[in-house]
Structure 1
């Protein structure tokens, strides 16, 4: 087997793992967001308060597209907007009430999955998994110029 074959097999296995977890656990979240809406919400959660320009830049989406996605998320109370007190021309986006509830449930699901499956790995295996993920992330982001 070539290195590429091992990589493809690993991807296939992670796809199967994610599919299983999505069906058996994360479907319990009852989220009704599109993948792009979820990406925007997740990024806002990571960097809040977020500016539309920052979301656009990090997700490589147009400002118009991000604005439409944020509008929809705001209508559903996943996010809220406010004026930046330091620059009144800027709008800041933060996680709203429904978004906070979602991430609370999401974290509970993560904890459940970790306890049920990942906790069965040894500490050494867990560290290797983390270190591998870090190394791959660094390689990809340095190569693409996006961190």
Structure 2
């Protein structure tokens, strides 16, 4: 086994352990706000986009639009999202976060951040900087690979 393989095994084992410990707490936080993890994902996605169509959300989640419609119905019942007709084409319905949805998402992200802070509190500032740089680099690679993959579909 090469040196790189050894590092990869160490990283995989450590990441697995950390996520195994954090995941139940992160899920509990989401559930405490009366949301499912998928609904949380939808709120994050819609917030990031500002607004989006059901078809865009379905494509991003790799599910059928009907499944997204049901989820949006539930989120709308809880007054977390709003549907609005497109000004250019009234047949198109856009989904956006309501003010209540924005506030709930802000609170939820803060609560999840508190969990992460507990786990990361033993790291030094230098270690946090290194971890931030490495994870940002990994995230950038992942986004780049996904964009290349999507371009290949055209």
Q: Same fold (TM over 0.5)?
A: yes
Aligned residues: 145
Q: Distance in 1 between matches of 2:117 and 2:9?
A: 31
For structure 2, the 5+ residue unaligned runs are: none
Task: Return the offset for 1:110.
Answer: 4.8
- The reply to whether residue 14 of structure 1 matches residue 18 of structure 2 is yes
Q: Distance in 1 between matches of 2:100 and 2:150?
A: 30
SS state at 2:67 partner: helix
CA contact (8 A) 1:26 1:106 kept: yes
Task: Return the offset for 1:109.
Answer: 2.1
- The reply to whether residue 49 of structure 1 matches residue 69 of structure 2 is no
Task: Return the offset for 1:18.
Answer: 1.8
Give 1:91's match in structure 2, choosing from 78, 90, 93: 93
Superposed CA deviations along residues 1-21 of structure 1, whole A, max 9, x for unmatched, are: 734421321222331442364
- TM-score (norm: length of structure 1): 0.76
SS state at 2:90 partner: strand
SS state at 1:88 partner: coil
CA contact (8 A) 1:76 1:98 kept: no
Structure showing greater radius of gyration is: 2
Superposed CA deviations along residues 94-143 of structure 1, whole A, max 9, x for unmatched, are: 11244223123224325645665546533332222122112212333333
For structure 1, the 5+ residue unaligned runs are: none
**What residue number does 2:82 align with?**
80
Give 1:26's match in structure 2, choosing from 29, 34, 40: 29
RMSD: 2.9
Q: Distance in 2 between matches of 1:75 and 1:46?
A: 21
